Amino acid sequence: MKQGGIKIIAKNKKARYDYEILSTYEAGLVLLGTEIKSLREGRIQLNDGFARIESNEAFLHGVYIAPYSNAGPFNHEPTRPRKLLLHKREIRKLYGKVQEKGLSLVPLSLYLKNSKAKVELGLAKGKRKYEKREAIKRQDAKREIQRTIRERSKES
């Protein structure tokens, strides 16, 4: 999927279901050669990923990038922590919010922007079970309304 110089590689749909996203940030990724080649093939899973700030640096943990098939013995470790490229003030701001309010940093999508790997991070607050059920009810109601509108427009 390409949108104005941006090629979306992977989206974390589960994150928007499990969390309420308060704000988003764009961060670069420090990757090895075999990782970027595997990314271009779309062999990545963001579902279990999260970001953590350690010693004034941000790292992406739990993201699986499949080994590159043509790398031979020089392949990368699939789930290694990867450094995120953010400005120092952004890291400090995120660290403060994550510590005080108990928020999480989750990857929402990974894409190539001008041939550079970028990840969209969301500052997220976990949803409770009843909030998830309400979201599903709202979504179902919206679909039902759209369905009836389409049916009525076909009758006319």
8 A C-beta contact, residue 123 and residue 96: no
The answer to whether residue 146 is domain-embedded is no
8 A C-beta contact, residue 23 and residue 123: yes
Assessment of whether the complete model's pTM goes beyond 0.85: no
The answer to whether residue 138 is domain-embedded is no
The answer to whether residue 150 is domain-embedded is no
Q: Total domain count for the chain?
A: 1
The answer to whether residue 155 is domain-embedded is no
The answer to whether residue 137 is domain-embedded is no
8 A C-beta contact, residue 64 and residue 78: yes
pLDDT in tens, 93-148: 999 888 877 788 999 999 999 888 999 999 988 877 777 788 888 888 889 889 88
For residue 83, the enclosing domain spans: 2-127
The answer to whether residue 122 is domain-embedded is yes
Query: What is the structure's pLDDT at 4?
Result: 63
Tokens 């020089």, located at residue: 74
Per-residue burial over 92-127, b = 16 or more CB atoms within 10 Å of its CB, e = otherwise? eebbeebeeeebbbbbbbbbbeeeebbbbbbbbeeb
Tell me how many helices (H) and strands (E) the chain has. Answer: 4, 10
pLDDT in tens, 32-71: 888 888 888 888 988 888 899 999 999 999 999 888 888 7
Q: Check whether 1 has a pLDDT greater than 70.
A: no
Tokens 């309304």, located at residue: 145
The CATH number assigned to the domain holding 31 equals: 2.40.280.10
CB atoms within 10 A of CB 3: 8
The answer to whether residue 35 is domain-embedded is yes
